[in-house]
């Protein structure tokens, strides 16, 4: 149970994550949170650095899928499609259904899949519960949903958002 609160790895930014090491770990696919992980909250603007990282991911034969709790397909689909990624909306993370839908789209199993996101209470706990390799990133910006700011961030502080650990091995 304690390990549910512990990401396997942490980075400041998505693009700092070493694709070669992910591949060497036996991973074949990554599930990517959207808001404040791939793009700033509620934005459709993806930085050149993130796009370059996604291109690098492909060179290592790693597939990627957007898995977001956002419900509005018309906001998510244009971003995902521009990046050439399949997507899952209304994932209801940390519940397992959205993670499983993402893995089905990637044709991967939990042991060959990573979940990368900025929220311990959704991305990391949900991924850990299913046995995924979890990577916590710093949120891209200070803007976020009120529920996140007033409930989830305090919860993260309570459980220790910055646990010891997390060297990518």
Binding-site ranges for Mg ion (CB under 5 A):
33, 35-36, 118
Give helix then strand counts, H and E, for the chain. Answer: 7, 6
Smaller CB distance to Mg ion: residue 118 or 156?
118
CA 50 to chain centre: 13
Token pair 């499609």: residue: 81
* Residue 82 beta carbon to Mg ion: minimum distance, rounded to whole angstroms: 19
* Residue 126 beta carbon to Mg ion: minimum distance, rounded to whole angstroms: 12
CB 89 within 8 A of CB 79: no
Q: Which two tokens stand for residue 37?
A: 């992980």
Pairs from 71-78 (Cβ < 8 Å, separation ≥ 24): 75/42, 75/44, 76/34, 78/44
* Residue 20 beta carbon to Mg ion: minimum distance, rounded to whole angstroms: 25
Smaller CB distance to Mg ion: residue 61 or 93?
93
Smaller CB distance to Mg ion: residue 20 or 95?
95
* Residue 115 beta carbon to Mg ion: minimum distance, rounded to whole angstroms: 11
* Residue 48 beta carbon to Mg ion: minimum distance, rounded to whole angstroms: 20
Smaller CB distance to Mg ion: residue 20 or 97?
97
Query: Distance between CA 120 and CA 72 in Å, rounded?
Result: 22
User: Strand 113-117 and strand 29-32: pairing?
Assistant: parallel
- At residue 31, what are phi and psi to the nearest 5 degrees? -95, 130
Smaller CB distance to Mg ion: residue 33 or 156?
33
Residues in the chain: 169
């Amino acid at each position: 149970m304690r390990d549910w609160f512990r990401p396997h790895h942490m980075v400041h930014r998505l693009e700092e994550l070493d694709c070669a090491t992910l591949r060497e770990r036996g991973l074949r696919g990554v599930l990517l949170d959207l808001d404040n992980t791939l793009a700033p909250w509620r934005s459709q603007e993806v930085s050149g650095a993130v796009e370059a990282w996604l291109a690098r991911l492909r060179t290592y034969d790693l597939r990627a899928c957007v898995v977001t709790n956002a419900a509005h397909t018309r906001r998510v689909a244009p971003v995902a499609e521009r990046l050439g990624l399949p997507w899952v909306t209304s994932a209801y993370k940390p519940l397992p259904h959205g993670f499983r839908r993402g893995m089905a789209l990637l044709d991967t199993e939990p042991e060959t899949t990573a979940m990368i996101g900025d929220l311990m209470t959704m991305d990391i706990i949900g991924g850990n519960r299913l046995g995924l390799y979890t990577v916590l990133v710093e949120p891209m910006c200070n803007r976020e949903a009120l529920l996140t700011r007033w409930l989830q961030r305090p919860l993260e502080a309570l459980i220790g958002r910055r646990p010891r650990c997390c060297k990518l091995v």
